[in-house]
Structure 1
Amino acid sequence: MKTLNSQRTAVRRLHHWIAGKPVAGSADSLGPVTDPATGEVTAQVPLASAEEAAEVVAAAKAAFPGWRDTSLAKRTRILFRFRQLLDERADELAAIITSEHGKVLSDAVGEVARGQEVVEFACGAPHLLKGSATENASTAVDVESIRQPLGVVGIISPFNFPAMVPMWFFPVAIAAGNTVVVKPSEKVPTAALWLAELWQEAGLPDGVFNVLNGDKTAVDALLTNPDVKSISFVGSTPIARYVYETGTAHGKRVQALGGAKNHMVVLPDADLDLAADQAINAGFGSAGERCMAISVVVAVGEVADALVDKIATRARDLRTGDGRRGCDMGPLVTEAARERVSGYINAGAAAGATLVVDGRTGTFDAEGDGFFVGPTLFDHVTPDMSIYTDEIFGPVLAVVRVGTYDTAVELINANPYGNGTAIFTNDGGAARKFRSEVEVGMLGINVPVPVPMAYYSFGGWKNSLFGDTHAHGSEGFHFFTRGKVVTTRWLDPSHGGINLGFPRNT
Structure 2
Amino acid sequence: MNAIHNPMLANQLTSVKLLINGEFVDSKTTEWQDIVNPATQEVLGKVPFATTEEINAAIASAQNAFASWSQTPIQARMRIMLKLQELIRIHAKEIAKVLTAEQGKTLADAEGDIQRGLEVVEHACSIGTLQMGEYVEGVARGVDSYTLQQPLGVCAGITPFNFPAMIPLWMFPMAIVCGNTFVLKPSEQDPLSTMMLVELALQAGVPAGVLNVVHGGKEVVDLLCTHNDIKAISFVGSTAVGTHVYNLAGQHGKRVQSMMGAKNHAVIMPDANKQQTLNALVGAAFGAAGQRCMALSVAVMVGETKNWLAEFVEKAKTLSVNAGHEPNTDVGPVISPRAKARVIDLINSGVEQGAQLLLDGRDVQVKGYEQGNFVGPTIFSQVSTDMRIYKEEVFGPVLAVICVDTLEEAIALVNANPFGNGVGLFTQSGATARTFQHQINIGQVGINIPIPVPVPFFSFTGSRGSKLGDLGPYGKQAVQFYTQTKTITSRWFEDSQDSGKVNTTINLG
Shorter chain as denominator, the TM-score bin is over 0.9
Q: What 5-or-longer segments of structure 2 have no aligned partner?
A: 496-509
5 Å-filtered alignment, 1:335-374, equals: 335-367=337-369, 369-374=371-376
1:225-374 alignment runs, 5 A limit: 225-305=227-307, 307-326=308-327, 327-367=329-369, 369-374=371-376
8 Å contact kept, 1:15–1:23: yes
Q: 1:301 to 1:487 in 2, by over 3 A?
A: same
Aligned counterpart, 1:189: 191
State the secondary structure of the residue aligned to 2:480: helix
Q: Distance in 1 between matches of 2:419 and 2:138?
A: 49
How far did residue 366 of structure 1 move?
Answer: 4.3
Q: Within 5 A, what are the aligned runs for 1:438-457?
A: 438-457=440-459
Kindly indicate whether the alpha-carbon contact (under 8 Å) linking 1:76 and 1:175 is maintained by their aligned counterparts in 2.
yes
Work out which of the residue numbers 408, 414, 417 in structure 2 matches 1:415. 417
The whole-number CA distance in structure 2 between the counterparts of 1:126 and 1:396 is 44
Tell me the SS of whatever aligns to 1:48.
coil
In 2, are the aligned partners of 1:8 and 1:42 still within 8 Å (CA)? no
Q: What CA distance in whole angstroms lies between the structure 2 residues aligned with 1:46 and 1:425?
A: 50
SS at structure 2 position matched to 1:439: coil
- Which residue of structure 2 lines up, in the alignment, with residue 52 of structure 1? 54
Normalised to the residue count of structure 2, the TM-score between the two structures is 0.94
**Deviations 1:343-386 (CA, angstroms, capped at 9, x unpaired):** 11111111111111111123325435111111111111111111
Moved more, 244-253 or 19-28: 19-28
SS where residue 310 of structure 2 aligns? helix
Tell me the equivalent position of 1:224. Answer: 226
Write the mapping of 1:163-174 to structure 2, written as runs, cut at 5 A. Answer: 163-174=165-176
Using a 3 Å threshold, how does the CA distance of structure 1 residues 66 and 194 change in structure 2: closer, same or farther?
same
Q: Which AA in structure 2 matches 1:393?
A: F
Match of 1:502 in 2: none
Q: Which amino acid aligns with 1:409?
A: I
Equivalent position amino acid for 1:154 in 2: A
Equivalence for 1:200: 202
- More displaced stretch, 235-244 vs 135-144: 135-144
Give the 3-state SS of the residue equivalent to 1:185 in structure 2. Answer: coil
Could you give the per-residue CA deviations for residues 229-287 of structure 1, whole angstroms, max 9, x where no partner exists? 00000111121111111111000000001110000111111122222111110001100
Deviations, residues 418-474 of structure 1 (Å, cap 9, x unaligned):
110001111111111000011100000100000000010102111101011111111
Letter in 2 for 1:313: E
1:429 aligns with 2:431: yes
Contact 1:332 1:394 in 2 (8 A): yes
The aligned amino acid for 1:150 is L
Change (3 A) 1:403 1:136: closer
Q: Deviations over 1:198-245 (max 9, x none)?
A: 011111111111111111010001000010000000111121111111
Residue 499 of structure 1: aligned partner = none
Residues 140 and 405 (structure 1 numbering): CA distance in 2 closer, same or farther, change over 3 Å? Answer: closer
User: CA separation in 1, counterparts of 2:269 and 2:263?
Assistant: 19
Describe the SS at the equivalent of 2:489: strand
SS in 2 for 1:291: coil
User: Residue type of the partner of 1:21?
Assistant: E
2:136 maps to: 134
Distance in 1 separating the partners of 2:29 and 2:180: 31
SS in 2 for 1:309: helix
Alignment match, 1:214: 216
Give distance in 2, aligned partners of 1:365 and 1:322. Answer: 10
For 2:484, the aligned partner's letter is R
d(CA) in 1 for partners of 2:472, 2:456: 11
Q: Identity across aligned pairs (percent)?
A: 42
Distance in structure 2 (CA, Å) of the matches to 1:137 and 1:436? 37
Q: Which moved more, 1:397-406 or 1:154-163?
A: 397-406
Tell me, which stretches of 5 or more residues in structure 1 are unaligned? 494-506
Q: In the alignment, which residue of structure 1 is the partner of 2:63?
A: 61
TM-score, normalised via structure 1 length: 0.95
- Measured after TM superposition, the shift of residue 331 of structure 1 is 0.3
Matched residues, number: 492
2:500 matched residue in structure 1:
none
2:408 partner amino acid: D
The 1:467/1:30 distance shift into structure 2, 3 A limit, reads: same
Contact 2:364–2:374 under 8 Å retained in 1: no
Q: Of 455, 464, 471, which residue of structure 2 is paired with 1:462?
A: 464
- The 5-angstrom pairing of residues 390-401 of structure 1 reads 390-401=392-403
Distance 1:484 1:9 in 2: 53
Determine the C-alpha separation between the residues in 1 that align with 2:75 and 2:205. 14
Separation (CA, whole Å) in 2 of partners of 1:403 and 1:215: 47
> Aligned partner of 1:450: which letter?
P
CA distance in 2, matches of 1:421, 1:366: 37
What is the distance in 2 between the residues matched to 1:143 and 1:276?
Answer: 55
Distance in structure 1 (CA, Å) of the matches to 2:367 and 2:457: 39
Q: Secondary structure at the match of 1:323?
A: coil
3-state SS, counterpart of residue 325 of structure 1 = coil
Once residues 203 and 8 of structure 1 are traced to their aligned partners in structure 2, the CA distance between those partners, rounded to angstroms, is 26
Go from structure 1 to structure 2 and tell me whether the alpha carbon gap of 1:430 and 1:365 turns closer, same or farther (over 3 Å shift).
Answer: farther
Note the C-alpha offset of 1:492.
Answer: 5.2
Aligned-partner residue type, residue 241 of structure 1: T
Partner of 1:121: 123
Once the two structures are superposed, the pairs formed by residues 24-39 of structure 1 within 5 Å of their partners are 24-39=26-41
Separation in 1 of the partners of 2:54 and 2:19? 11
Alignment of 1:470-481 (within 5 A): 470-481=472-483
Q: Is the 8 A contact 1:320 1:365 kept in 2?
A: no
1:92-131 superposed matches below 5 A = 92-131=94-133
**How far 1:3 moved relative to its partner?**
4.0
Q: Deviations over 1:149-187 (max 9, x none)?
A: 001100000100011111112221111000111101100
Q: Which residue of 1 aligns with 2:92?
A: 90
CA contact (8 A) 1:4 1:95 kept: no
